Amino acid sequence: MKKTQQIHDSGYKYIFSHKGFIKQLLQSFVPMNWVREIDFNEMEQINSSFIRKNLKNKESDVIYKLSYKNTPFYLYLLIEFQSTVDKTMPLRILSYVIDFYEELIKKEKFSELPEVFPVLIYNGNEKWTVPDNMAHMISTHTKELREYLPSLKYHKIIINEFTKDSLIKIKNLLAGIFLTENLKEGELENYQKILAEILVKEVDSQLKEAFVNWFCRLVDNENIKPIQDISHITLEEAKTMFAQTIEKIKKSERKEGIKEGIKEGIKEGKIAAAFKMREEGMALSLISKITGFSEAQLKKIFKN
C-alpha cells in the first residue's frame, strides 16, 4: 500500500523522545495487564548510542528505563524503516538485547539482570510475516534439544495492520501519527478534521507541539504560518494548519509528478529516435553514443 509519506529516523526518534508518547504507546498498543502498574512519572530515557556500531540506517532504537512496582526494567523500542520485511528480525533483536545487557553489566553489578521488553514498530508497506520469537526461526528435530535453543519474543506493532477506524477510536496523538502513516495518496485531506479534533483534545502542550512539528516535517514547512501558542490551539486554527500543510503536500506531489513525466517523455523520445537510427542502418555503438543507452539496453529495447 502506498502511503502519503514515510516518517524516517529523525521523525520517530523525535516523537519518542517525549515521555508522553511512550505512555501512549504502551497504554494504547501493548494490551498487557502490567502496563497499568507502570509509574510513568519515573520514566528515564537511556542514551542508546552504544548499541551496536553497525546499526543500519533502516532501523533506529529508543530505550527507556521504567518502574514496575518499584522494580526497574527497560523498554527497548526498535523502529524498522525499510519497506521490505527482514526475515532475520528475531535474530537482530536478540543480538541487540544481548548487546544492551553486556553494556549494563559493564556499568553496574547485578545479582540478577533486569527485565527488557523488546518492541518493534514497523512502518513499511509489506505484510509482516516474520516470527515474533527467535526460537521459531530454528528448525528442531527433537524435543530434547528445544530447551537448549535461544529464545526471545518481541512485541510487534505493525502499523499497516491497523484499520483506520481502529486508530481513530483510540483518540490520541500517537494513533493520529499511525493513522497518517496508513493513508494512501490523496486520502489525508479527508482526515484533516479528525486529526484536528485529536490535536485539540490533547491536554499535554509538549505533545501537541511535537505532533505539529512532526506533521509539518511531512513537507518543507517554511511557508506554513506557525501557531504561536500551541497549548491553546482552537479547532479552527488546527484545521487551518492541517489544510495548509496538506495543500503543500499536494503541490509537492504535483511537482514530483511533473518531473517524472518529463523524465518519462525524454526517455520515450530517445527510444523512438533509437528505432529510427536503426532503421537507417546506423551501428549499435553509434546509436549508444547518441542516445546514452548502453548497447545492452539497446538490444533489450529493440527486442521488445
Residue pointed to by grid coordinates 532503421: 279
- Residue 232 to residues 47, 94, 172, 191, 207: CA-CA distances in angstroms? 33, 44, 17, 21, 13
Cell numbers at 124, concatenated: 513499511
**Left if phi > 0, otherwise alpha if psi is -120 to 50, otherwise beta: which for 229?**
beta
- Whether the CB-CB separation of 192 and 243 falls below 8 Å is answered with yes
> CA–CA separation, 33 vs 279, rounded Å?
75
Reading the chain (304 residues) residue by residue, the pLDDT tens digits are 344 444 455 678 889 999 999 999 999 999 999 999 999 998 999 876 545 554 444 457 899 999 998 899 999 999 887 777 889 999 999 999 999 999 888 888 878 899 999 999 998 888 999 999 999 999 888 888 888 889 999 999 999 999 999 999 999 999 999 998 888 877 888 888 999 899 999 999 999 988 888 887 776 544 444 455 676 777 787 777 777 766 766 665 555 555 555 555 567 778 888 888 888 888 888 888 888 888 888 888 877 6
- 295-302: Cβ within 8 A, 24+ apart: 298/274, 301/271, 301/274, 302/274, 302/275, 302/278
Interhelix angle 284-291/235-279, nearest 10 degrees: 150
Phi, psi for residue 260 in degrees, rounded to 5: -65, -40
SS3 state of residue 11: helix
- Residue 223 to residues 47, 215, 241, 246, 255: CA-CA distances in angstroms? 34, 14, 11, 12, 16
Facing residues of 122 across strands? Answer: 80, 158
What residue ranges do the domains of the chain occupy? 9-255, 262-303
